[in-house]
């Protein structure tokens, strides 16, 4: 099956710093989503981005489908950005069915 690798696995930032999270995938995908999982387990949608670049406030994402990677940029980080960031790729699994395959996540800790 498809492999989704996220890096780095752990990241500690000083408040106000910028960071880049990477997601590599091993095969063509139908779509890609970025999520932030808060400490209570809720997955919050950040971006739905099969290709190109999108921005939402301090966050932006770029997916280069032809090279099978996506990047999530966080600028001017805040303590509330702490949590685990997941990349998930949507693949076709046959008979009209699509499924999300997740990476293992990047655990971000932002310290004051």
Partner 1 sequence: ETGVTQSPTHLIKTRGQQVTLRCSSQSGHNTVSWYQQALGQGPQFIFQYYREEENGRGNFPPRFSGLQFPNYSSELNVNALELDDSALYLCASSLSTTSEQYFGPGTRLTVT
78 token code pair: 């805040």
Q: Does residue number 101 form part of the binding site for partner 1 (CB under 8 A)?
A: yes
The smaller minimum CB distance to partner 1, of residues 66 and 97, is found at 97
Among 39, 41, 57, 112, binds partner 1 (CB under 8 A): 41
Q: Does residue number 94 form part of the binding site for partner 1 (CB under 8 A)?
A: yes
> Restricting to residues 73-92, which ones interact with partner 1 according to CB under 8 A?
86, 88, 90, 92
Rg (CA), the chain: 14
CB of 41 to partner 1, least distance (A): 5
Q: Does residue number 65 form part of the binding site for partner 1 (CB under 8 A)?
A: no
Q: Are strands 59-64 and 69-74 parallel, antiparallel or unpaired?
A: antiparallel
| 3-state secondary structure at position 100 | strand
Positive or negative: CA dihedral 70, 42, 103, 7: positive
Please choose, from the candidates 51, 100, 50, 56, the residue with its C-alpha nearest in 3D space to the C-alpha of residue 81: 56
Among 3, 12, 78, 104, binds partner 1 (CB under 8 A): 104
| 3-state secondary structure at position 68 | coil
Question: Residue numbers of the site for partner 1 (CB under 8 A)?
Answer: 4, 30-31, 33, 35, 40-43, 45, 48, 86, 88, 90, 92-105
């Amino acid at each position: 099956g498809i492999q989704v690798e996220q890096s780095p696995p752990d990241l500690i930032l000083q408040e106000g710093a910028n960071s880049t999270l990477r997601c590599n995938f091993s095969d063509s995908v139908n779509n890609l989503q970025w999520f932030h999982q808060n400490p209570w387990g809720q997955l919050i949608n950040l971006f739905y981005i099969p290709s190109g670049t999108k921005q939402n406030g301090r966050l932006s994402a770029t997916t280069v489908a032809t090279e099978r990677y996506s990047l999530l940029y966080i600028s001017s980080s805040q303590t509330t950005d702490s949590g685990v960031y997941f990349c998930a790729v949507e693949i076709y699994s046959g008979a009209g069915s699509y499924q999300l395959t997740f990476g293992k996540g990047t655990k971000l800790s932002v310290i004051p």
